[in-house]
Chain A
Amino acid sequence: MSSAPLVQRSALQWARAELFSGPGNTLLTLLIAAALAWVVPKLVGWALLHAVFRSDALACRAAEHAGACWGVIAEKLRAILFGRYPFDQQWRPLAGLLLLLALAGTSALPRWWGRWLLPGWLLALVAFVLLMHGGVLGLAVVPSSRWGGLPLTLLLSLVSLALAFPLGVLLALARRSPWPVLRSLAATYIEIVRGVPMISVLFMASFMLPLLLPSGWQLDVLLRVLVGITLFTAAYLAEVVRGGLQAVPAGQWLAARALGLEPWQVQYFIVLPQALRAVVPALMNSFIGTFKDTSLVVIVSLYELTGALTLALGGDPTWRPFYLEGYLFVAAIYWLLCFGMSRYSRWIEARLTARP
C-alpha cells in the first residue's frame, strides 16, 4: 500500500521509492519499460510519423495501414458530425451545438449559478429544436428523420436526462413512502426496468409504441426513443437518489417536523437537498452512462454520432477501409466529453464538501 509522503523527497529518492524499492519492483519497472519502449514507437509511427493527414484516398491506400489515414476525417467531418442533415443547412446544427456547449460551459461555473439556470436551459433547448426543425423565421423544415450526428447525441442525452431526473426523484420518494401501494408500484417499476437491457426498451419504443398508441396519437420515432430512454434512465436515477435519501439521518426529518414544517416541505427543503448533495458523484456517473448509452439508438435507425459514422463510411467503398480511424475520432469525442464530465464532478464534489 502506498502511503502519503511525510517529508519532501529529492527526485532520486522519489524514483527509488516509486520504481526501484526492491528486487521485485525493479524487475517490474524494467519489464514495463521494455514493453513501452517496444509499443510506443510503433504507435507514434502509425498515428503520426507515417500517417496521411490529407483527404487523399490514394495516399491512404499506399500507406497500407502502416500509417493512420486521418484524411478520412478531413473528408467526412461534416457527415460524421451532422449525419444526414441537408448539407447546405448544416450551419443550423452547428449553431445549435455551439449554443448548447456555451450554455453548458457557463452553467458549469458555480459563480454563475442562479435563478436563470432552469429557464435559460429550457429556452436554449426550445431554440435548439426550432433551429434544427425549422419552419420559423423562414428556415426550411428539416424532418427529424434527417437529424443526426453530435447534435442528436446531445439532444437525446440532455432532454432525456432533464425529464428523467424529476421522474427519478419522484420514484425514489415513492419507493420510500410509508404508503404500501405506492411503494410497491415504484419498486416493481424500478426493478423491472433495471433488470432488462436498454436495447429491449429501445425495441419497445420503436416497435411496440406504434402498436400501443391509438392511430391519432402516433409519435415520431425520435420522440418515441426519447420516451424510452427517459423511462429507462429514470429507474437508474431513482436508485441513486434513494441511496442519497438513506444517507440523511432520521433526526433531520424529526427536527424539521418538530419545527412545524409540513411533510412535503421537509422533503423539499430539508431532506432532498442533503440527499442530492450526497450523491453528486453517483448522479454524474449515471449522466455519463446515459450519454454513452445514446449510442445504442443506431440499432433502431437513428443516426447520432456513432450511427452517422457508419452512414458516412459504411456505404463508401473508397473510404471504408479506414473505418478504424473514424471510430477512433468518434471515440475521442465521446472520451473528451465523458472524461470532462467526470473530472468536473470531482471538482464540484470537492467544492460542495469544502463548504457544507
Chain B
Amino acid sequence: MTPDAAGGGTPPPARRIPWAAWAFQAGLLLVLLGLGAWLLSSTLDHLRERGVRAGFDFLKDPAGFEIGESWIHYESSQPFWRAFLAGLANTVRVAVPGIALTTLLGTLLGLGRLSRNLLLRAIATAYVELIRNVPLLVQLFMWYFALTELLPASGEALKLGPGLFLSKSGMSFPWPLWEAGHFWPSAIEWPEAGELNVSGGASVTPEFLAVLLGLVTYTAAFVAETVRAGIQSVSQGQWHAALSVGLTPRQTLRFIVLPQALRVIVPSITNQYLNLTKNSSLAVAVGYPELVSVANTAINQTGRAFECIAVIMSVYLALSLLTSALMNRYNKRVALRGGA
C-alpha cells in the first residue's frame, strides 16, 4: 500500500461544500421528517380507531401470563416490565454459556482445519461446510424435535456420566449447595434417577438445551472460519523467521503468531458473539421464553406492538453499541502503531 492509498477511494474532501449540496441535504431531511410525521399521524389515527392507548404506561400493569422458566423470580401477577426483565435474563442465560462453548468448539474446529492430520482436517471441513449452509432455524427445530420426541421419558433417563441425566424433560446435573452466609458451597447435590423422574441437582429444560446446542453448533462453524483465517493471515515468513532464531514451534505460536492472528480474529469473533446473541431471538420458534418471545406474548395480549418492538430493539441496540465501543477501544490498543 502506498501512503496515498491509505484513505481508500474517498473523494478528497472538497474545501467547501457547495450550496447546492446543502440545499439537497436540507431537502432530504425535510422529506424524511415529513414522512415520519405522516406515518406518526396515521398511526395515532389507527390507535384511536381501535381504542388502543399508546405509551409505555402499560409496563406497570400486571402482565397476566406465565413464563415457562425464569432465572429471576417472576409470576403472572407481576408487571410487564418484570416479565421483560425475566425474558432478558433468559437471553443472557443462554447467550453467556453459548459464547463460552462456541469459542471452545470454534477454536478447536478452526485449528482442526489447519491440522497436519488429513482425517482431522477433513472432518473439521465437513462440519463447517455442512453446518454453515443450513438455516439456523431448521437446525433449532431439529434439535428441539430430537430432544423432546426422540429421547426416552423422564423415568428412563439416559445416564451420560456420573450425575448427568438426559431425558425428554431436560438435562439434570450436579449443583453445589450454599448455606446462608457461607462463601464456599457446603455440599454438592447429585441428581438421582427415580421410578418416574430424575430428582435433585440442577436441571435445564429441553427448550433451553435446544437453543443452546443449536446456537453453539451453528456459530462455532463461523468462529472456526474466523480462527482459521486469522492464523493463515500471519505470513509463513513469520513462522520460518521465528523458528530459525531458535524458538520452538510452541513458542512461535504463543509469542509470534497468536498476537498477530488475534488482531484479525478478535474483531470478527466479537461480531460472531453479537450474532449469537441476536440469533438467540429465534428461540421464540421453539418456545424458550427469552426477550423476543416474551415481547411476542405481550404484543398478542396488549396489542401494543410499537412499544414492545421498541423495547426489543433498544435492548439489542444498546448491546451492539456497547460491544462496538469496547471493540473500538481494543482495536486502538492492538492496532499497529507508527509508520504504515
A contacts, CB < 8 Å to B = 1-3, 18-19, 21, 25, 28-29, 32-33, 36, 65, 176, 178-182, 185, 191-192, 194-200, 203-204, 207-208, 210-215, 245-254, 263, 271, 275, 288, 292-293, 295-296, 298-299, 306, 310, 321, 323-324, 327-328, 330-331, 334-335, 338-339, 342
Pick the 3 closest A-B CB pairs, nearest first.
A195-B320, A248-B9, A246-B8
Contact indicator A324/B118 (Cβ below 8 Å): no
Of the residues B142, B279, B296, contact of A331 by C-beta under 8 Å: B142
C-alpha gap A122/B204 in the complex (Å): 51
Q: How many A-B residue pairs have CB under 8 A?
A: 197
Q: List 28 A-B contacts (CB under 8 A).
A: A18-B117, A28-B115, A28-B120, A33-B119, A178-B14, A179-B22, A179-B25, A191-B321, A196-B317, A199-B281, A200-B281, A200-B312, A200-B313, A203-B295, A203-B299, A210-B46, A215-B42, A247-B9, A249-B9, A253-B12, A295-B138, A298-B285, A306-B135, A323-B149, A324-B142, A331-B142, A334-B135, A338-B134
Query: Which of B4, B129, B146 is within 8 Å of A324, CB to CB?
Result: B146
From B9, B137, B285, contact of A250 by CB (8 A)? B9
B21 at the interface (CB under 8 A from A): yes
Q: Which of B261-312 contact A (CB under 8 A)?
A: 278-279, 281-282, 284-285, 292, 295-296, 299, 305-306, 309, 312
Verify B149–A321 contact, CB threshold 8 A. Answer: yes
Q: Which residues of B contact A33 (CB under 8 A)?
A: 119
Contact B317 A192 (CB under 8 A): yes
Question: Measured between alpha carbons, how far is A212 from B21 in the docked complex, in Å?
Answer: 31
Contact with A along B121-144 (1 / 0, CB 8 A): 001000001101111111101100
Complex CA distance for A197 and B312, rounded to whole angstroms = 9
Contacting A at CB under 8 A, from B312-331, are: 312-313, 316-317, 319-321
Interface contact B117-A29, CB-CB below 8 Å: yes
Given contacts A208-B305, A323-B145, A339-B133, 8 further A-B contacts (CB under 8 A): A19-B119, A195-B319, A197-B278, A199-B292, A200-B309, A249-B8, A323-B141, A328-B142
Specify which of B130, B139, B309, B321 is in contact with A204 (CB 8 Å cutoff).
Answer: B309
Contact partners of A65 in chain B: CB under 8 A: 150
- CB-CB < 8 A to A191: which residues of B? 320-321
Query: What residue of chain B has the Cβ atom nearest to residue A272's Cβ?
Result: B9
- Assembled-state Cα–Cα distance A244/B290 (Å): 37
Cβ-defined contact, B9 with A252, below 8 A: yes
* Chain A residue contacts of B334, Cβ below 8 A: none
**Most-contacted residue by chain A among B29, B42, B138, B312 (CB, 10 A):** B138
Give per-residue flags for B244-260: 1 if the beta carbon is below 8 A from chain A beta carbons, else 0.
Answer: 00000000000000000
Whether the pair A207, B312 counts as a contact (CB closer than 8 A) is no
Whether B316 pairs with A199 at a CB distance below 8 angstroms is: no
Nearest CB in chain B: distance from A301 CB, A = 12
Q: Report the separation of the CA atoms of residues A65 and B305 in the bound assembly, to the nearest whole angstrom.
A: 43
A residues less than 8 Å from B188 (CB atoms):
none
Whether B189 is near chain A, meaning CB under 8 Å from some CB there, is no
Interface string of B91-124 (1 = CB under 8 A from A): 0000000000000000000000011111110010
Q: Give Cα A3–Cα B240 distance, bound, in whole angstroms.
A: 12
Most chain A CB inside 10 Å of its own CB: which residue of B7, B134, B285: B134
Closest B residue, CB atoms, query A207: B305
Q: Is the CB of B134 within 8 A of A214?
A: no
Contact A200 B133 (CB under 8 A): no
Chain B nearest CB: distance from A231 CB in Å?
A: 13
Contact for A249 among B5, B32, B135, B320, CB less than 8 A: B5
B17 interface hit (Cβ, 8 Å): yes
Given contacts A2-B116, A192-B317, A214-B45, contact A250 B8 (CB under 8 A): yes
Q: Are A331 and B134 in contact (CB under 8 A)?
A: yes
In the bound complex, CA of A179 to CA of B47 (Å): 38
Q: Chain B residue with minimal CB distance to A28?
A: B117
A306 touches B137 (CB 8 A): yes
Inter-chain CA distance A86–B278, complex, in Å, is 36
Min Cβ gap B273→A in Å is: 14
Q: How far is the CA of A32 from the CA of B116 in the complex (A)?
A: 14
Nearest-CB distance from A314 to chain B (Å)? 10
CB distance B4 to A250 under 8 Å? yes
Contacts of B42 in A (CB 8 A): 212-215
Chain A residues, CB < 8 A from B321: 191, 195
* Known A-B contacts A32-B119, A197-B292; A1 and B138 likewise in contact (beta carbons under 8 Å): no
Known contacts A324-B150, A334-B138: A263-B11 contact under CB 8 Å: yes
Indicate if B13 sits at the interface (CB-CB under 8 A).
yes
**CA distance in complex: A250, B136 (Å):** 40
Given contacts A182-B28, A197-B279, A331-B138, contact A211 B305 (CB under 8 A): yes
Also in contact, A199 and B317, with CB within 8 A (given A207-B309, A212-B42)? no
Which A residues are CB-close (under 8 A) to B11?
178, 253, 263
Q: Is B39 an interface residue (CB 8 A)?
A: yes
CB distance from B319 to the nearest CB of A (A): 8
- Contacts A179-B17, A197-B292, A203-B309 given: A327-B138 contact, CB under 8 Å? yes
Task: Given A181-B25, A200-B281, answer yes or no on A246-B17 (Cβ-Cβ < 8 Å).
Answer: no
Q: Which residue of A has the minimal Cβ distance to B303?
A: A207
Q: Which of B10, B28, B150, B316 meets A197, CB within 8 Å?
A: B316
Distance in Å from the Cβ of A164 to the closest Cβ of chain B?
Answer: 18
Measured in the bound complex, the distance between the Cα atoms of B279 and A36 in whole Å is: 32
Contact with A along B15-56 (1 / 0, CB 8 A): 001000110111011001000000100110111000000000
Q: By the criterion CB–CB under 8 Å, are A254 and B12 in contact?
A: yes
Does A200 contact B316, Cβ atoms closer than 8 Å?
A: yes
Interface pair B8/A299, CB less than 8 Å apart: no
Question: CB-nearest residue of chain A relative to B13?
Answer: A178
Name which residue of chain A comes closest to B5, CB basis.
A249
Cα distance A1–B232 in the bound complex, in angstroms: 9
Contacts of B2 in A (CB 8 A): 249
Pair B133/A248 contact, Cβ less than 8 Å: no
| Residue numbers in B under 8 Å from A18 (CB-CB) | 116-118
State the CA gap A33–B21 with chains docked (Å): 67
Beyond A211-B46, A211-B306, whether A247 also contacts B117 by CB under 8 A is no
B39 touches A212 (CB 8 A): yes
Instruction: Give the residues in chain B near A254, CB-CB below 8 Å.
Output: 12
Contact residues in A for B14 (Cβ distance below 8 Å): 178
